């Protein structure tokens, strides 16, 4: 049984204890979208608890397990957005991402940006890791990219910065009031983690569009929704409140755990 399930049970029991509600069946996650929902409020308190507990238990720079080539059993199952349709993205894709730039901005000494060629020419790291989606599936895949930490140092993170917000090109949801673009965030410990890479290669091939081309971040000790595809900007901030619903990510805004550690 994976640690993911254990943790999910932990979250569920914390939610039940915290709210004093008796929950039956497996429908209790269906209406978490509402902010008034007592289960969601309890889960948000549980987020803080699990974040602190996990940070204490696992230490700050523990490596995620890496696997052998022989353990790659399948391709990386594309999930969520697989074919972004925003004009910016379609334009970049049309010219094979020649004018793509990854920007690091916000609470930094100097805003920096890099082309795909520049990223590919930086020291590369390849790692075979397991991706766990909360929907209940996993894939073992080989990711190649460059570490985020040295680029953050190049930009010069200002002392007050606490989080990286990862902004993506894809319109994960289309509403009457416009597109909702995917985003997520991490603390600086995860951003500087040695296995946190700006990945442009998957299983020895150029990263395909369905898996986040041209660049997707890997945060290897976090769940699937913390692995932003179609990444274009990393913004250093001291608060997550200004973005989306203020919970630090597209899925986080609907009630998913912010830390999302495994």
Ligand X SMILES: Nc1nc2c(c(=O)[nH]1)N[C@H]1C(S)=C(S)[C@@H](COP(=O)(O)O)O[C@H]1N2
The site for ligand X (CB under 6 A) is made up of 76-81, 133, 168, 170, 172, 182, 211-212, 224-225, 227-230
Applying CB under 5 A, does 224 fall inside the site for Mo ion? yes
Q: Which is nearer to Mo ion, 114 or 190 (CB)?
A: 190
Tokens 């917000």 -> residue: 165
| Smallest distance, Mo ion to C-beta of residue 160, A | 31
| Smallest distance, ligand X to C-beta of residue 133, A | 4
Instruction: State the Cα angle at 56 between 223 and 35, rounded to 5°.
Output: 50
Q: Which is nearer to ligand X, 50 or 184 (CB)?
A: 184
Q: Which is nearer to Mo ion, 84 or 106 (CB)?
A: 84
Distance CA 262, CA 73 (A): 21
Q: Out of Mo ion, ligand X, none, which partner does residue 257 contact, by CB within 5 to 8 A per kind?
A: none
What sign for the dihedral angle of Cα 234, 238, 241, 247?
A: positive
DSSP 250: T
Contact yes or no for 52/184 (Cβ under 8 A): no
| Smallest distance, ligand X to C-beta of residue 212, A | 6
Choices 25-33, 101-109, 183-191, 224-232 (CB under 5 A): range interacting with Mo ion: 224-232
Tokens 């020649």 -> residue: 98
* Strand 163-175 to 205-206 pairing: unpaired
* Strand 125-133 to 101-106 pairing: unpaired
Q: Which is nearer to ligand X, 193 or 216 (CB)?
A: 216
From the list 47, 122, 90, 117, the residue with the least C-alpha distance to 209 is: 90
Q: Which is nearer to ligand X, 170 or 235 (CB)?
A: 170
Q: Out of Mo ion, ligand X, none, which partner does residue 228 contact, by CB within 5 to 8 A per kind?
A: ligand X
Tokens 């943790």 -> residue: 7
Of 133, 161, 172, 188, which lies in the binding site for Mo ion, with binding defined by CB under 5 A? 133
Contact residues: Mo ion, CB under 5 A: 133, 224-225
């Amino acid at each position: 049984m994976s640690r993911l399930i254990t943790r999910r049970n932990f979250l569920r029991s914390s939610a039940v204890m915290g709210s004093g509600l008796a929950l039956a069946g497996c429908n209790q996650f269906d209406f978490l979208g509402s902010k008034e929902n007592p289960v969601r409020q309890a889960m948000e308190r549980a987020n803080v608890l699990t974040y602190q507990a996990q940070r204490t238990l696992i230490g700050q720079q523990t490596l995620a397990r890496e696997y052998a080539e022989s353990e790659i059993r399948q391709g990386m199952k594309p999930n969520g957005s697989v074919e972004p349709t925003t004009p910016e993205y379609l334009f970049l894709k049309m010219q094979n991402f020649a004018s793509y730039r990854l920007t690091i901005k916000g609470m930094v000494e100097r805003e920096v940006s890099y082309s795909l060629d520049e990223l590919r020419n930086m020291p590369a790291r390849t790692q075979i890791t397991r991706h766990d989606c909360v929907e209940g599936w996993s894939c073992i895949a080989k990711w190649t990219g460059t570490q985020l930490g040295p680029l953050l140092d190049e930009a010069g993170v200002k002392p007050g910065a606490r989080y990286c917000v990862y902004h993506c090109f894809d319109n994960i949801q289309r509403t009457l009031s416009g597109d909702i673009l995917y985003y997520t965030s991490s603390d600086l410990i995860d951003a500087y983690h040695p296995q946190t890479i700006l990945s442009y290669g998957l299983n020895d091939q150029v990263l395909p569009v369905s898996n986040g081309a041209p660049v997707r971040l890997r945060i290897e000790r976090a769940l699937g929704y913390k692995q932003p595809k179609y990444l274009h900007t990393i913004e250093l901030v001291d608060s997550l409140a200004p973005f989306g619903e203020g919970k630090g990510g597209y899925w986080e805004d609907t009630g998913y755990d912010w830390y999302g550690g495994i």
